[in-house]
A and B are shown apart, each in its own frame.
Chain A
Amino acid sequence: MMEALSTFWVIHSNLILSLGTNALLALSIWLTLSCGMLAMANAAFMGIGAYTSAILTMQFGWPFPAVILAGMLAPMLAALIIGLPTLRLSGVYLAMATLAFGEVVRIVIINTELLTGGIGGIAGIPTSTEWWHMLLAVVCALFVLWRMRRSKVGRAFEAIREDETAAGLMGINVGANKMLAFILGAALAGLAGTLNAHLTFMIDPKEFGFDRGVEILTMAIFGGIGSLVGPVLGSAIFTLLPTVLSPLADFRLMVNGVVLVLIVLFLPNGIWDPARFKQWFGRKQGART
């Protein structure tokens, strides 16, 4: 029995651990989405975290806990700097600006070869991330977000998402709250990048580009952004889907695309939609996760 379990772990540990990485990423974009912002810089923040931590581990020999902290702080700082001018942009302009920032980050990484290994990336990163690190990170993130949601901060985010002007007139500092969501989102993405870099042995700039950004957004929307369950569920399904669909070979990604379109068309609030559950299973009052 124990043996079967350990074989299972050997085969599937990477998949299971990438569940954690993707859950953190989906939660990181959920933060900004819950505040009404379509910011697409999460892949870049993940990259900043991954590279910062890998460089600190390998070139400066920092201990792992300090590396994790730095891997979160560096993207937070970047978020603060680019958030100041960009967060006042609305809707699609914010999405475009953050996409452009992502490209800038990718190109900077490619062009600072001495530090980042350029296009080839960094290999030989010690695999310090244990399964319980990942689990703890996801649980902590969920706890913090859950507490936030049940406080004035969560209400402020929701108010801003629904109507920015009205939110401001409720005494909510719209700019500061958006910045908070953006920076916390960057921290989560950085955490995901750090843990993932110390899991997969190597990183390269391709992982943190446009496609990754789109994938992160997709996971969150797919699961549904109405609650915390949605992004976690969405990321889990999206992580496991390729494995489940592997018999389809080349057309496997196609199913991803079709599923995405169908979800958007027929389940506008994602898979996990408490309001719809209420409709289905009769009215139950109030409880929000």
Chain B
Amino acid sequence: MNALPMLQLQNVSRHFGGLKVLEDVNIEVPEGGVFGLIGPNGAGKTTVFNLTTGLLPTSGGTIRFQGRDIAGMKPHQITQAGIARTFQNIRIFKEMSLIENVIVGMHAKLRYGAVGLLAATARFRSEERRARERAHELLSWVRLDHKAHDVADNLSYGEQRKLELARALATEPKLLLLDEPVAGMNSGEKTELMHEIRNISARGYTIFMIEHDMRFVMGLCEHIAVLNFGRIIAQGGPDEIRNDPQVIEAYLGREDESEVAQ
């Protein structure tokens, strides 16, 4: 692997009081493709995302995005640098319409100043028009374009997830973090979302996802890392992971076991 990795976690740890949630975690997400992070509940997966997006500071180690150390950067700076994410417990702006949700994601990309804003200059209008057109396009990617002016709160659960995805894409990320994108979805919605994630990946976005649903992960990801009790216990392609004795042990006696064996 000689190309610069998209995202690189080196000896990253995170402690809450005496609790070591993450310990010496090393993950390398290569550019392009879909990377999966799996592990039992409470293994610290979401914490990896929270550290990567600047919501929490690390207790040790470094996180590099395209070779650049992101320590001390605020969440909005990290977003502007090119990382976007979705949340396990969907966090869309419920009182806004779908299209407004997406346009909020373009906040930092809209170039106009106070004068433009007040006087509604040509620049202001063209920027706003561009944002609106782009938002429609992104909504059409996740097939929500027809509901663009509905209030987001009225969407179904699956639709809300897709809206969150479109909103994340609006920040023009290079790396897209998806936190359990299919949690709570029925199998029809899952299949649909799998297609959409493939499409997004095909458009050149690097995707790094946390997921519980093994079939989903195995079907989508080229690389997988397994986190257990705050440590990475295995990394590799889907086949290696499926047959890794440590991974099997980590999931042994759990209901996920059967899913791993599939």
Contacts and interface: CB of A to CB of B under 8 A. Distances in A.
In the complex, is A directly touching B at CB under 8 Å? yes
A286 B109 CA distance: 23
A153 B84 CA distance: 20
Given A144-B118, A169-B75, A170-B171, A155 B80 contact: no
Interface in A124-168: 144, 147-148, 151-153, 155-156, 158-159, 162-163, 165-168
B117 A147 contact: yes
B123 to A, nearest CB: 12
A21 to B, nearest CB: 24
Contacts of B87: 166
B107 A171 contact: yes
Contacts of A173: 74, 76
Given A169-B55, A170-B105, A172-B108, 15 more contacts: A147-B118, A148-B117, A155-B100, A155-B104, A159-B93, A159-B104, A162-B94, A166-B93, A167-B104, A168-B79, A169-B79, A170-B167, A170-B170, A171-B76, A171-B171
Contacts of A166: 87, 91-93
Contacts of A144: 118
A168 B74 contact: yes
A285 B149 CA distance: 7
Nearest to B75: A168
A46 interface: no
Contact of A151 (B55, B100, B106, B124): B124
A174 B91 contact: no
Interface of A: 144, 147-148, 151-153, 155-156, 158-159, 162-163, 165-175, 285-286
A267 to B, nearest CB: 17
Question: Most chain-A CB neighbours within 10 Å: which of B93, B97, B100?
Answer: B93
Instruction: Label chain A's interface by main secondary structure.
Output: helix
Contacts, number: 87
Interface in B60-75: 74-75
B76 A174 contact: yes
A152 B55 contact: no
A285 B100 CA distance: 13
9 contacts: A152-B107, A158-B104, A159-B104, A159-B107, A162-B96, A166-B91, A168-B74, A169-B75, A170-B76
Question: Most chain-A CB neighbours within 10 Å: which of B74, B76, B106?
Answer: B76
Contacts of B84: 169
A282 to B, nearest CB: 15
Question: Most chain-B CB neighbours within 10 Å: which of A163, A168, A171?
Answer: A171
B133 interface: no
B214 to A, nearest CB: 27
A169 B108 CA distance: 11
Nearest to B90: A166
Contacts of A148: 117
Top 4 A-B residue pairs of the complex, sorted by shortest distance between their CB atoms:
A171-B108, A168-B75, A171-B79, A166-B91
Given A147-B118, A165-B55, A285-B149, A172 B107 contact: yes
A155 B103 contact: yes
A10 to B, nearest CB: 37
B75 A163 contact: no
Given A166-B93, A171-B79, A286 B108 contact: no
Given A144-B118, A165-B55, A170 B95 contact: no
B206 interface: no
Contacts of A172: 76, 104, 107-108
Question: Most chain-A CB neighbours within 10 Å: which of B100, B104, B109, B120?
Answer: B104
A286 B149 contact: yes
